Structure 1
Amino acid sequence: MGKKIFSGVQPTGNLHLGNYLGAIKNFVDLNNDNDNKCIFCVVDLHAITVKQDPKELKNNIRETVATFIASGIDPKKSIIFNQSRVAAHAEGAWILSCVARMGWLNRMTQFKEKAGKDKEKASIGLYSYPVLMAADILLYDATHVPVGDDQKQHLELCRDIAQKFNNDFEVENFLQVPEPLIQKEFSRIMSLKDGSKKMSKSELSDLSRINLTDEKDQIINKIKKAKTDPLPMPQDIKELEERLEAKNLLGIYSSLTNSTLENSVKNFAGKNFSEFKDELAENLVNKIEPISNEIKKLLGDKNYLDEILLDGVEKANLIASKKIERIKEIVGF
């Protein structure tokens, strides 16, 4: 039996290799499986938990859609929409926030990391957004949600909220309790300048990341300048624990070529980094350059992107509005 899959991506603009290998590449595989029903949401309500430039946000929403399509997600097979245009998300988040408990949210490590030392200055939205994430998922009766390590805790919260709602209102299995979809053989993609930090668009140096809009020469140059250590390529996978930059580059190579980290280590054991980097750059160019070209082409046709979003919004609304009406009836509205 096929899976009902829901996943969201924040429209932060300038999506990079970490976003592609960590999420979008997996979305494409899920979309290509005819047994699956996939809903991909541009989570613009989540984006405003931190201040956004309104003009930039509008462009970033379109750019996220363009990236989905350029990467191979077919909008005819999957629903692609932006969250703010389906009112059930905000309504559902409020109702579920009356089911969720403070103690549950206080345990969320992501808030502690994002809010930093001065959490009094963080927005309430940043604190409570896992409840909105739960509403996003539960409105569509999703059976599976692709999650990285940093979102596992939020999915657990979603499961807790669903179970508590079902118990509180004595509606067994009304809210579908979703399962996580964890990618096998996937390494977290780290900065090209520091193997201990996640690849991020907020890092100052553009050399720290491969953007999905980078051109061939930029990709080759960034890999050439990527930080390594003076030793030859590792002989054994155990060495990688001490050699974070080598681990990161081999992880990127493995994800691109769909091979295991063990096999990648074997292939390049004892060779020079320069030889490995040439092959890595070639694989990256082959994968990213066509996506980059297609993103730029799609961004030149804003009407087309807006039509895809409008079509997705209509389809999502049909599903979510029915679910929220039932939720309201159950609650007593």
Structure 2
Amino acid sequence: MMKKRVFSGIQPTGNIHIGNYLGAIRNWVASQSEYDNIFCIVDLHAITVPQEPKVLKAKIRELAGILLAAGIDMDKSVLFVQSHVSEHAELAWILNCFIPMGWMQRMTQFKEKSEKQKEMVSVGLFDYPALMASDILLYDTDLVPVGADQKQHLELTRDVANRMNSIYGEVFKVPEPVIPKIGAKIMSLREPTKKMSKSDELADSALNLLDQPDEIRAKIARATTDSLREIRFDENRPGVNNLLVIYELFTGLSRRDIEAHFEGKGYADLKKELAEVVIEGLAPLQNRYREITEDTGY
């Protein structure tokens, strides 16, 4: 039986954080025996907003090292840099000729991102969904893991695939979304109503995969909680809930067991234990990353 093909992309910008790891990368690693995986470092998407070339080049290498350190196995999966395969840009142009402007204008993520750049916003940023569609359709992809913020783009991918198939026959496979139910949305430590982001300008908002132990302890110690005392999972208490979700995902314990463990304890106890859990959980990845990046053979 043929394995279903999965295409996953990640931008080489900012610092890769635990939200990226828990919501995507760890799932990618676990799925390698089940699926025919293609992992793409999407540097062409990165340049839809201004980038410093030297920094971007370094970030591409750093991201490749992190993915390999996290467990992406080149004997089981494909890992490559988007700009190294010119067909991504070529197909994107062809798709542009079949995507109505109205479809693009409905993309809410462009509206949000363009607010930051105002009149300097690029055509590339507006056209981002066409390139994403090209990435996916180029490889006869069956499944695409997407967060809530990318679901609309995948719908556009499906729409343009169906449109071209109706004109030219079965040219493209129409992909299906896979949306993780847990871990897909780790929140900011400082503003827990917002998703943890690589581009967040607020200091200490994200736990990065390469953060040192003291950095992790300091960031978690400053994480936003609330004025209540009980430690339990509750989406109406986003700060505490976020810390508990991180604890849950790193330990694998049930929510009932976690709440029982912290019964009668305070936020200081939660933060202290969580910091050590994260440090311990990231140590193997960080050690492997150092081995990979110090080896010139990579």
**With structure 1 as the length reference, what TM-score do the two structures score?**
0.83
Structure 1 Cα separation of the partners of residues 257 and 108 of structure 2: 34
Q: CA separation of 1:176/1:95 partners in 2, compared to 1, >3 Å: closer, same or farther?
A: same
Structure 2 Cα separation of the partners of residues 146 and 79 of structure 1: 16
1:280 aligns with 2:277: no
1:202 aligns with 2:168: no
- Bigger shift: residues 220-229 or 114-123: 114-123
Amino acid at match of 2:273: E
The aligned length equals 297
Structure 2 Cα separation of the partners of residues 147 and 82 of structure 1: 19
Match of 1:188 among 174, 178, 185: 185
Question: After superposition, what is the alpha-carbon deviation per residue over 1:247-272, rounded to whole angstroms, capped at 9, x for unaligned?
Answer: 11112112223355565445434531
Structure 1 Cα separation of the partners of residues 256 and 176 of structure 2: 28
* Equivalence for 1:66: 65
CA contact (8 A) 1:213 1:293 kept: no
> Tell me, which stretches of 5 or more residues in structure 2 are unaligned?
none
1:20 aligns with 2:21: yes
Identity of aligned residues (%): 51
- 1:64 Cα deviation after fit: 0.8
- Bigger shift: residues 139-148 or 255-264: 255-264
* Equivalence for 2:212: 215
- Bigger shift: residues 127-136 or 264-273: 264-273
* Equivalence for 1:30: 31
CA contact (8 A) 2:189 2:206 kept: yes
> Tell me, which stretches of 5 or more residues in structure 1 are unaligned?
305-333
Amino acid at match of 1:14: N
1:150 aligned counterpart, secondary structure: coil
1:301 aligns with 2:295: yes
Q: Which has the higher contact order (CA 8 A, sep 6+)?
A: 1
* Equivalence for 2:251: 257
2:110 aligned counterpart, secondary structure: helix
Structure 2 Cα separation of the partners of residues 155 and 300 of structure 1: 37
1:6 aligned counterpart, secondary structure: strand
Q: Higher helix proportion, which one?
A: 1
* Equivalence for 2:262: 268
Match of 2:238 among 241, 244, 247: 244
Question: After superposition, what is the alpha-carbon deviation per residue over 1:297-317, rounded to whole angstroms, capped at 9, x for unaligned?
Answer: 32233541xxxxxxxxxxxxx
